[in-house]
Amino acid sequence: MAELTTTYVREVLLREVGGPDWQISEPLGTGSKTRLVHRGSTALAVKLVDTPPRITARLSEIGVTPPIVAVGEYDKRRYTIQQAVTGPHPDRDWFAGNLPRWADLVRSYLDDDELHRLLAETPAFWRLDVTGAVAVIDRSPAPTMPVLQEPGFRASLERWREQAEAVVRLPHQPIHPDAHVHNYVIAGGRPYLLDWEYVDLSDPLRDVGFQVCGSLHRGRWAEFLRRIGHAPSEELEIAMLWWAAFKMAMNAFFNDGRGDERGAAFHAHYFRMAVDRRSWVDQR
């Protein structure tokens, strides 16, 4: 997808909200597909998206993302205009102190029947089960960085593949495949989860595992699971760790492709911890 240009932003603003006197930021985010715009006290975010407009609108309707001003298509590219929200990214203290609110937000999209229906009618983009996740890793280009070639990492990768056979499978639900802390914003006293470009149906533990492993002490995982409607069990916690490891492996391979040795080492470390079924928060 091409970069979001100033000319394009001015055109869609004129079409949707009127007025030529918007101040437009430099491109933001991966792929330079977002710009913030200001006029007086009004602040909006304009973004190029691949997500069908009805799905984008539904995420806003259930309160997961900020209110939508407009969605549409111009020059054969889809765009979204949303109210811009500013605020801090939550840290582990916030997640621990606001577990019910956090879990309720996650459950609001996992359990939303309308969102599920809309995604089921949309061609799959990132719709993985356990078997598909293993296939994604197996298809990844051979890593070039020493940290991903060392015997310890390769042994952990093989153990992760072996663990797949016993991982519990749950029915697919709408998930955010990259719900990391920097996609959360606390604004007006409430959390929002942003960057839904790759929303799809998948095993919910793929989403929940990465979030919980990264932000919550293991002693409270059962509390989170209950809050999102699951009876806690050791097999669910093992599946959460398995999916968290998948996310770390994907990130490490992404770093490798970009020549980011530090990022690859960081994600390889947490991948190996998850494969060893060690909590990221309780042990470093």
Same domain, 136 and 68: no
What total of structural domains would you count in the chain? 2
Same domain, 175 and 51: no
Residues 161, 225: Cα–Cα separation, whole Å: 25
Share of the chain above pLDDT 90, in %: 85
Task: Confirm whether 142 is domain-assigned.
Answer: yes
Same domain, 239 and 203: yes
More confident residue, 195 or 159: 159
Same domain, 23 and 130: no
Q: Is the pLDDT of residue 64 over 70?
A: yes
Residues 256, 265: Cα–Cα separation, whole Å: 9
Task: Confirm whether 15 is domain-assigned.
Answer: yes
Expressed as residue numbers, the domain containing 191 is 92-275
pLDDT at 30: 67
Same domain, 132 and 29: no
Task: Confirm whether 280 is domain-assigned.
Answer: no
Q: The domain that contains 104 carries what CATH number? A: 3.90.1200.10
pLDDT band at 9 (very low <50, low <70, confident <90, very high): very high
Same domain, 53 and 107: no
Residues 2, 33: Cα–Cα separation, whole Å: 8
Q: The domain that contains 78 carries what CATH number? A: 3.30.200.20
Q: What is the pTM of this model?
A: 0.92
pLDDT at 24: 93
Q: Is the pLDDT of residue 246 over 80?
A: yes
Q: Is the pLDDT of residue 284 over 60?
A: no
Which residues, in sequence order, are CB contacts of 181 under 8 Å at separation 6+? 89, 90, 91, 214, 215
Task: Confirm whether 1 is domain-assigned.
Answer: no
